[in-house]
Structure 1
Amino acid sequence: MTVSSDLHSRQKAAVAGGVGTRAIFAKKALNAELWDVDGRRFIDFAAGIAVNNTGHRHPTIMRAVAEQAERFTHTCFHVAPYEGYVRLAERLNAIAPTGAENRTMLVTTGAEAVENAVKVARAYTGRAGIIAFSGAFHGRTMLGMALTGKVMPYKKNFGPFPADIYHAPFPNPYLGFSTEDAIAGLERLFAADVDPERIAAFIVEPVQGEGGFNIAPKEFLIRLREIADRYAIVLIADEVQAGMARTGKMFGFEHAGVKPDLVTMAKGLAGGFPLSAVTGKAEIMNAAHPGGLGGTYAGNPLSVAAANAVLDVIESEKLCERAAEVGRRITERLTSIASRQGMERIGEVRGLGAMVAFELVEDRESKAASPAITNRIVAEAEARGLILLSCGTRLNVIRLLPPLTIEWDVLEDGLNILEASIEAAFSDATTPVAA
């Protein structure tokens, strides 16, 4: 019996079955590499689901956390505030792309950031309705699930969900659904289901994470901003997965040149420590009454120290530029693989910066989803020492999220494993392939 198999047995006896996991029990990690309890080495193309943009155990971040731990680990910001929180808020206010004077609040998870953004938008507008989009993912809390536009595995059996949540269609050019189609769907929602003057906020991801790395077209975000302005609706940018340099800019919305009113961030914000933030226009953020926002662990001192260090690393190591280069290398390799004969099940390669994915289909003409071969590629890669993640509402997309600090030779090794895994999965497939 291996150490991993023993731990798996212990997990089944101790951990709730609804907590889905992989069979990789981590023992140590460094930058883009992880070793399990049996000594197997993995190249990490998941980065803790875009959390470790700065890699595992970046020395600058680890040093900042250790120094903070020597001072204090928790006071509760509401009881005894501290300079690190204030300094981080100042820095986020300066970089959030709202085009206005900003204010920030810190909490712990992406879902908390989303919930607080909704609270702030409702307090500011005096309205209740929120519009999210098909394919969206905004968290696992009851409100987060209500906003999420993907049933499995997030919403099944967990309702009923909060009221006054609506979903409009999100563009998907690959499947022939354009920005014009999406805006028309939003207008139909206004005509048939909810008066736009009852809507407090739109919430939208610049690149859908769980939805399949679908990139919001620039034209779509521009139109959404126009509609928000027309009806005095708050525009919330959910940058939880796309933010913190992942797309080649600090925030994904910046690619479209569109200025949101509120920005939610988490994941890559604190380099592996739990922290999230809502940053937005001061007029909106100050609408909530004193005491209405926060929480016992909100803005934990260790996480805040890590986040301040993350911002230092992003700047000093030019991680926005590096993300663009990481993404270019991955995209070029995937495009080359997809162009080969026999690789026709790769329907599309897409991405923004180092947020890259490829969609698996039965054939390029029908574009019918192939979740089975998606799962085979993920399993093949894991057996060969590469950690991958799948996503997509059709369960047929593989997303690549290596740390932005990944060494070039490690990235190349990972791409070699990926190519071999695709080849092995395709050769095992029994379904005929059509061009």
Structure 2
Amino acid sequence: MLTRRALGRLSTPLSRVSTATIPRACAYSTATLTREKVTDWTTPLSEPEMAAIAQRHLTKGLARMSDHVVEKAQGVWIHTVDGKTLLDFTSGIGATSTGHCHPSIVSAVTAQSNSIAHAQMGIVLHKPLVDTVRKLLAIMPDPSLDTFFFRTTGSEAIEEAVKVARISTGRQNIIAFQGGFHGRTIGTLSLTTSKNVYRANFGPLMPGVVMAPHPYRSFCRPGACPESPLKSGDSVSTCSPDTCTACAEPALEQFELLLKTVTSPSEVAAVIIEPVLGEGGYVPASNAFLRGLREITKRHGILLVADEVQCGMGRTGTTFAFEHAGIVPDIVVFAKGVASGYPLSGIVSTKAVLDACAPGSMGGTYIGNPVAMAAAAATLEVFQTEKVFDNAVARGEQIVKLLNAELPRIVEGKDIKVDVRGRGLMIGVEFYGEGVEKMKKEGKSLSAEVQKAALKKDLLILTTSVYESIRIVPALTISEAESADGIGRFLQSIEEVLA
């Protein structure tokens, strides 16, 4: 068997060496690669060769929907090294809020990179940090949200929210909701139940976590909600989170029961919820549910934490998604779109809550990075000057209208129903019914097949949740024509799969 040292001396293509003599982990998926070609980083490579290197040398724990290698992007368009142009309806899972390489963001980042790229917050302050705080304060929905702490990823910010909740209340337990996603660290995994692939075999996880039922569609019992997709006679329907109460009532009842049977309110530091489930299916919690939850948490002195990592920063047409319900959480976590794809996250709360932490108990080498902060300050300015939130609402309404107009025809006679849901440019499309179950029995996933078909049409689109769901999450700056183009490709993909 070849050792790594022997493999490094190979001068013939790996395809000419007997695969029986090469450890599986050392093989490449293309015949043109040799070890020397791989390690000589000055040698130009084709897209398949670069994809082969990634397949061999990146962990398979990182799932990937395509092997496209991209080199530049602008707005909602991505260009690959081999000349393809892709229409991006993923925005990096909601991160590139102002589109790829927005001129204002590029200018701010370039200028900051030429000034100072790293200024550790535990040592000094810097201007982009203060600028970002000022601009964030200007869009906070309530004056009580006036104190910030910054991290680099959503998971880190959620971890900080848990720490803050525990120390400020003197309690330990955290209640999260089934279907929620809060991150992949051990602490945030403990709060995550959107898919078991995130949690499987990583235990033991953090203790003190209790799961509550989410007001998903299963709570819309027969006859309870005339708009429910489970009871509508139409093939396509939407249940408005603004008006629906049927999902809220049983979920709130179960939450109250949980406080009587599983954990005493006096043990609960915080309740954490995504106002719109992200990895759990792009499911908005109804206004009625969020208001009821806020009332319960206030009554028991429990902090309410809104995880707005994916649904915040204009994604639903407002700074934060919880604003639609007219509530104010105690702690809000944000990330992704705040810096147009640059690594920045944060939490905002009251001065009293965040200052419960002793000096030095919070920190990190890269927190509040000046370049990421410059991107955030520029992003927040673009939000205002280009009326980005208004565009998110308009384009969301356009997309939902297009879907509701065409989907009934596409699924007619297929024993398939569709639930179109969401707010702004955070739209979920879920397929269900006998036709979907038939495909499952054949070993096929309708949503995965649609995603593959869309990729062939150069449309990047993501699935979500354990159900047959697709998420539509383009840049908030997407145009009317680009929205129509993407939805046209999406609908064609569904037709082809169901043909």
TM-score by length of 1: 0.94
CA distance in 1, matches of 2:418, 2:487: 18
CA distance in 1, matches of 2:493, 2:196: 26
The 5 Å alignment of 1:98-247 reads: 98-100=142-144, 102-173=146-217, 176=220, 178-247=247-316
In structure 1, the gaps of 5 or more residues are 428-435
Partner of 2:323: 254
The 5 Å alignment of 1:233-382 reads: 233-340=302-409, 342-343=411-412, 345-363=416-434, 372-382=445-455
> Over residues 323-375 of structure 1, what are the superposed CA-to-partner deviations in whole Å (9 max), with x where a residue is unaligned?
00110111011111222153453421111011111101234899998971111
Q: Which amino acid aligns with 1:11?
A: A
CA distance in 2, matches of 1:179, 1:136: 16
Aligned residues: 426
When residues 342 and 75 of structure 1 are mapped into structure 2, their CA distance, relative to the original with a 3 A threshold, is closer
When residues 253 and 367 of structure 1 are mapped into structure 2, their CA distance, relative to the original with a 3 A threshold, is farther
Three-state SS of the structure 2 residue aligned to 1:120 is: helix
Partner of 1:433: none
CA distance in 1, matches of 2:445, 2:435: 16
**Structure number with bigger Rg:** 2
RMSD: 1.9
CA distance in 2, matches of 1:110, 1:8: 28
Q: Which amino acid aligns with 2:220?
A: G
CA distance in 1, matches of 2:480, 2:429: 21
Q: Percent identity?
A: 37
Q: Which amino acid aligns with 1:238?
A: D
TM-score by length of 2: 0.82
2:487 to 407, 410, 415: 415
1:383 to 456, 463, 482: 456
CA distance in 1, matches of 2:137, 2:439: 44
Q: Flag as ranges the 4+ runs of structure 1 deviating above 4 A.
A: 364-371
> Over residues 250-296 of structure 1, what are the superposed CA-to-partner deviations in whole Å (9 max), with x where a residue is unaligned?
11011111111111000001001000010111111111111111210
Deviation at 1:99, TM superposition (A): 4.4
Partner of 2:6: none
Q: Work out whether residues 99 and 259 of structure 1, in 8 Å CA contact, stay in contact via their aligned partners in 2.
A: no
Deviation at 1:91, TM superposition (A): 2.7
Partner of 1:406: 478
Partner of 1:431: none
CA distance in 2, matches of 1:175, 1:169: 9
CA distance in 2, matches of 1:143, 1:198: 18
Deviation at 1:75, TM superposition (A): 2.0
CA distance in 2, matches of 1:115, 1:233: 17
Partner of 1:9: 52
In structure 2, the gaps of 5 or more residues are 1-29, 31-44, 222-246
